[in-house]
Amino acid sequence: MNQTIKVSKSWWEKSAEALPSIKSEVPGPNSNAMHAKTIRYMKGLSSQVKLFPVCFEEGYGISLTDIDGNRYLDFSSGIYVASLGHCHPKISEAISFWAKKLMNAHDFTTPIKEKLMEKFASILPGKLNAIQLYSDGASAVESAIRAARAISGKHEFISTYRDFHGKTMAAVSCARMYRGDTLSYGPTRAPGFYMVPRPDPYRPLWTKENGTIDTDAYIRFYEQFLTEATVGNVSAFVLEPAQGWAGSIFPPEDFFGKLKNLCEKYNILLYDDEVLAGMGRTGEWLTLNHWDVVPDIVTLGKSLGNGFPVTAMIVREENAEALEKISASSSYGGNPMACAAALASIEVIEDEGILENVREVGKFFMKRMIKIKEQHPIVGDVKGKGFLLGIELVKDKNTKEPFEEAGKLVYQKAFRKGLAWIPAGHILRMSPPLIMNEKFASLGLDIIEEAIAEVEKEFGY
């Protein structure tokens, strides 16, 4: 039924031996030519591509190869997606098995779907076991909003500044819109969707007398907001446990527990969007597991299928009946290849000790990043947990003025040295494959530090 091929934990290491390997000026001539042809038709590319228009043709484990034969160390996992390594043999095999046997059966039961359901129920906390499957993050987010309405009978939603949840209508309504891209055109936020400030320890809005962030002040503001700004019909608080797009920003340690208490006090559902942060990225199945907070609704995606499009929306058993009101039927959701990809990915996380690796190597990352911060005048803050990491560049450590130009340059310089990664304005994002060991974590950070030093020199620091 599903493939059970055994793979050694170090399946990718041989292929990574000579990383990175940059033979010429990059992007090279073939990349440039291929990109120029593509963009005659393909429009609206991300800054990740616009700032470094390379053309990749192969990925294996933690390496990516472009069409000029240059090989890069991967610090992006695509975009938090190929988290267990590119083309993990077990996952690729599981997908191809079903690609040859049964590709689609609408939302009928299939043996592989049943196995995946059992597996999901065994890894998620607190009876989170009423599940629907989709094929992209935004569709799962839409279904979470529908589920929250169906469970609560209420229709208002609150999310936090600089959130991102995808590009469909409800998802856009929960997100920051002032970005100069398509999200900002027209009156796009649907009625009943609100945003409130989010506690960012590096840029706090409210602080205690000792200068540290005052989580209680945020919670007091939310409480006031419920009575002053909403019509008292708030269905759910929509939460990115760690903000990905905004730059790997985690709230202070005492935030989630306090938010959960607030939600319980006002009978508001806690919807935890783990599309980016879940499935081991921070060293737990769900990032909220770190704080023992069990949400009412969860969405998962990206790492879930290690590259194959599969996403999930899950609610607690006690609310399962409400899901009968919102059909799970979709053209691609839960197709056999998708179920096989998700099941194999979960098994790899279990079999290869991925959560433990992320926790261990994550600590190594952070230790080294703190050193980088201490040694470089333009590194204002380093942040993250596990393998969800960010480096915030500033013009001055006292004023904390964002250093956008440096962000672009450091991104490009490190890429030229062979590091594939993710820009976010003045915050540089890192999302390495979760299989990475200290050797390559260190190598990637060496490249970043070198790029930072060169940029500092160019700007006269």
- Residue 171 has phi, psi (to 5 degrees) of -65, -45
> How many whole angstroms separate alpha carbon 39 and alpha carbon 44?
9
Binding residue (CB under 6 A) for ligand PLP from 20, 166, 199, 305: 166
Is the Cβ–Cβ distance between 125 and 286 less than 8 Å?
yes
Judged by beta carbon, residue 163 or residue 381, the one nearer ligand PLP is 163
Given the complex with ligand PLP, which of 137 and 336 has the nearer CB atom?
A: 137
135, two tokens: 């094929």
**What is the helix (H) or strand (E) element at residue 362, kind and residue range?**
helix 354-375
Give the nearest distance from C-beta 240 to ligand PLP in angstroms. 5
Encoded one letter per residue, x for contact with ligand PLP by CB under 6 A and - for no contact, window 99-118 reads --------------------
Stretch that binds ligand PLP, among 66-74, 239-247, 333-341, 347-355 (CB under 6 A): 239-247
Task: Give the SS3 label for residue 426.
Answer: coil
Work out which of 275, 410, 436, 445 binds ligand PLP, going by CB under 6 A.
275
Interface residue with ligand PLP, options 164, 193, 222, 285 (CB under 6 A): 164
- Binders of ligand PLP among 372-391, rule CB under 6 A? none
**Region of 34-42, 133-141, 399-407, 427-435 interacting with ligand PLP (CB under 6 A):** 133-141
Overall size of the chain counted in residues = 461
Query: How far is it, in rounded angstroms, from Cα 329 to Cα 283?
Result: 32
Task: Work out which of 138, 262, 388, 406 binds ligand PLP, going by CB under 6 A.
Answer: 138
Answer yes or no whether residue 11 interacts with ligand PLP by CB under 6 A.
Answer: no
Nearest-5° Cα angle at 107, 104 to 113: 80
Contact between 358 and 281 under an 8 Å Cβ cutoff? The reply is yes
Judged by CB under 6 A, which of 86, 88, 165, 408 binds ligand PLP? 165
User: What are the start-end ranges of the E strands in 246-318?
Assistant: 269-274, 297-300, 311-316
Nearer to ligand PLP, 31 or 160 (CB): 160
Is residue 273 close enough to count as binding ligand PLP by CB under 6 A?
Answer: yes
Which one of residues 34, 124, 213, 276 is an interface residue with ligand PLP (CB under 6 A)? Answer: 276
Q: Which residues contact 438 (CB under 8 A, 6 or more apart)?
A: 361, 364
End-to-end CA, the chain: 60
- The rounded Cα 237 to chain-centroid distance in angstroms is 19
User: Which residues make up the interface to ligand PLP (CB under 6 A)?
Assistant: 136-138, 141, 164-166, 240, 244-245, 273, 275-276, 301
